[in-house]
Amino acid sequence: MKYTADQIQVLEGLDPVRKRPGMFIGATDERGFHHLLVEVLDNSTDEALAGRAKNIDIVIHKDGSATVADDGAGIPVEIIPKYQKSALEICMTYLHAGGKFDDKIYKVSGGLHGVGVSVTNALSSYLRVEVKRNGKFYFQEYKKGKPITSVKEEKGKKITGGGTTTTFFPDPTFFKGLVFDYQRIEEIVRERAYLVPTTKFTLKDERIPLKKTFYFEGGIRSLIKHLNRGKKTLSEPIYLQKEADHLQLEVAIQYNQSFGENVKSFVNVVNTVDGGTHVTGFRTALTRSVNDYLTKNGNQKEKIFLTGDDMKEGLVAVIHLKMPTQSIQFESQTKAKLNNPEILGFVANSVKEGLAIYFEEHPSEARKIIEKITLSAKARLAARAAREAVIRKGVWEGGGLPGKLADCQEKDPAKSELFIAEGDSAVGSAKQARDRAFQAILPVGGKILNTERALLDKIIQFEDLKDLIIALGTGIGETLNFNKLRYQRIIIMSDADVDGKHIEALLLTFFYRHLPGLIEKGYLYRANPPLYKITAAKKVFWAYNETEKNQILVELPKGVKTSLQRYKGLGEMNPDQLWETTMDPKNRTLRQLTVEDAKIADQTFEMLMGKEVPKRKRFIQTHAKKAILDF
């Protein structure tokens, strides 16, 4: 086909958004779906940051729509002469239109491209915006980003104050089967309530129904206490604040006795999930401050140079930067990463200065934090020695894979699968059932080490975990390199009984604590073996839970001779049955393991696998009746 002028397309209005939604919301997945709500919510939050709004209400409706309302000034509705359209319609239907391109109206805001709410409009099957302004009530309706009414004034209403209310239905053309997740939205709303402590946020879910109000005068100090809820901390939150050259920085730091890290960063209330120069500056300052303290106050006979990785164990921190809207350089419209180079130095100098003062004024707390970090460094050095010992034996890099690994023939990680199986009979069936062209089997012997309580050097010395690390090829700790991963589908295949669930929990603890990148990249799965085999009239049905079993039995013709077999373990299945139900890509059901909410997952792992027995006891007492036990 010839390339001619006829093939040149000009996308006008919001057409580019509907043509390429991923450019504006990242992807049309769960995160992109909820980003529609975030864009509307951020507009209301900006009103609060500007001092014009004190209340923000969010409602999730039964019909799949959502509403965000604030009591701010309300979007202007006057006609803009150049376009002969209302300012409201311009904001809702034009890309790069809004009041945030200078610092006169919004000195600090999360929006900067002027595309936020218009993107939500473009990707909604229906949207209605209502404005209270100057004692009058206005509204306009849209369908797939295009106005279906003009801006109308609704008379006869008694109007007090101002504000904007936006109700929208995400377009199922882009978001098939997706619905609003209350837990995810609650976390988003809660974060903003901490970051804008003068504003009351109310979240209502009509589907449950449930209504919660969030108002925290303590700001990010309250947030960090929330993140450390249920954990033993080493001190009260360290709070640092700095203002200079139109920049405002707030940092809260608090160490706990766990091994995980939780660092949250924000720019003008926008959660920069991928970090950026403000996070880099913070990490640089933390490492330098601790090393400087050790140089002045440490044991000179035991000199240890601490690295950035040593700072991570038990670290919980919140970094909130406010800066002029027009100065912000985000990596993309989704605002996941800050790119301003000048911010690195500002944050690094501010945090280093603040920590030096804190350590000087709080020597007892400083010693506890330094001891925690130094212990992490010693574990790192011990782990390095253990790794080097393994390498010398020739079994880590090129010397060979674990003898008990039944490897596959495929060398492309994207096409290779690793099944982690427990029990001799299950492993035997799996080895016979697998397609050795692309499926590998690695057995683990019963209960593995609880890595919630173990340092890295102990983990590497544990035989089953060492074999797993070698089989994966990624290394661990300082040597971690996901480019060397040998399998991009890692499948935990355990029995459906209590022991199997315990082994699965131990494996998940290991992956979550020490190889979380495998979960974040979507490489970790759980096999879903059937619980029942139902035979009726020479036909075989597989049921994967009690509900499916009951449904199959109800639908069988009356009078048909039926046999029911309950599988307590994978080893009870013949290899052909295990292949058909659990390992064959054409028939099986795999559950991809993800961490949608790292904070909640972190608290759960800490409670179930940590040292605090009372919390675990309370959980067991509360949920014991829900457990399904096999005898």
Among 376, 333, 433, 436, smallest CA distance to 111 is for 333
Element (H, E) at 406: none
Provide the annotated active-site residues: 422, 495, 497, 499
For 145, 148, 285, 340, 386, the CA distances from 344, given in Å and listed in that order, are 39, 47, 10, 8, 36
What 8-state DSSP symbol labels residue 81? Answer: T
For 192, 202, 441, the CA distances from 210, given in Å and listed in that order, are 19, 11, 46
d(CA 307, CA 117) in angstroms, rounded, equals 43
d(CA 195, CA 253) in angstroms, rounded, equals 15
Element (H, E) at 356: helix 341-361
Element (H, E) at 164: strand 163-170
d(CA 313, CA 255) in angstroms, rounded, equals 8
Among 487, 507, 493, 389, smallest CA distance to 439 is for 487
428 phi and psi angles, rounded to 5 deg = -60, -45
Instruction: Calculate the dihedral angle through the C-alpha atoms of 276, 279, 285, 290, rounding to the nearest 10 degrees.
Output: -140
Radius of gyration (Cα) for the chain, nearest Å? Answer: 28
Are residues 387 and 313 in contact, defined by beta-carbon separation less than 8 angstroms? no
Element (H, E) at 138: strand 136-143
Count of beta carbons in the 10 Å neighbourhood of residue 174 = 20
For 9, 451, 459, the CA distances from 3, given in Å and listed in that order, are 12, 60, 60
Which tokens in the block code for residue 573?
């299945």
Are residues 419 and 442 in contact, defined by beta-carbon separation less than 8 angstroms? yes
Sequence-separated (6 or more) residues with CB below 8 Å from residue 364: none
d(CA 619, CA 564) in angstroms, rounded, equals 34
d(CA 241, CA 221) in angstroms, rounded, equals 12
d(CA 214, CA 223) in angstroms, rounded, equals 12
Q: What burial class does residue 229 get, using C-beta atoms within 10 Å of its C-beta: 0-12 exposed, 13-18 middle, 19+ buried?
A: exposed
